[in-house]
Amino acid sequence: MEFLISQSQLQLILNEQRNDDNISSSLKKMKAFTNNMVGKVLKTYDINLKMFLTWGTSIAGLVMPLNEFLKSGNFQLTESERYLILSGVAFLVFFEEKRGLLKILKTIKEQGFEEYFDHALLKAYQLKDSFTKFLRSTKIITSQVLEIVSYAFLIPIIGDIRDIAIGVSNITESSILIAERLIASGVVLISREALIALFRKLFKKLQ
């Protein structure tokens, strides 16, 4: 039996595939960013940030926009110096583990980067607050810090998700499709069921 689809239906499928590929590609870039940051900080400053690797996409979701902020301003920092500052920001915003943080803050002070760090930290808290308010408006999270860490990978890809939401006719099917592809890519820690619920709520919110 043959099934025919209209040109508009075909275009919708192709657009959803394109946007979904954008999301997968962006998440892989986030994971690679965190891996590179961890490696650079270890090599340059002898600070072990291995714990960041578990939350690779979420860490990058927050600090990648801040990296662009530091690059575009008049901070005159090298890549390794930016990564050092971003590591301190990630520790303070996301984690309670003090040992690694104290070493980072000491190194930042020794390098004379305290002012740059304060600028980046302020931007980070502003970004986190805005993102948290958005998530609460969708009923995705309560108030736990761990939930915010888990979903921070969404920050750089909200635009792609919005593009998908505009063309989605079946929210449940689209949520399942995207969740399964992200799980298969191995770049997020959230379960399949949680991702499906996440995208379902986001699509409803963004449509």
| pLDDT of 2 over the 70 cut | no
pTM: 0.79
Question: Using an 8 Å Cβ cutoff, are 161 and 206 in contact?
Answer: yes
Which tokens sit at 181? 């592809």
Q: Which of 10-14, 49-53, 143-147 has the highest mean pLDDT?
A: 49-53
- Phi, psi (deg, nearest 5) at residue 183: -60, -45
User: How much is the pLDDT for 97?
Assistant: 64
Within 10 angstroms of residue 3's Cβ, the number of other Cβ atoms is 4
End-to-end CA separation in angstroms for the chain? 34
Q: How far apart are CA 185 and CA 84, in angstroms?
A: 28
Helices vs. strands in the chain: H and E counts, helices first: 9, 0
User: How much is the pLDDT for 19?
Assistant: 53
Higher pLDDT residue, 145 or 91?
91
Q: How far apart are CA 168 and CA 172, in angstroms?
A: 9
Collapsed DSSP state (helix, strand, coil) of residue 185: helix
Percent of the chain scored above 90 by pLDDT? 25
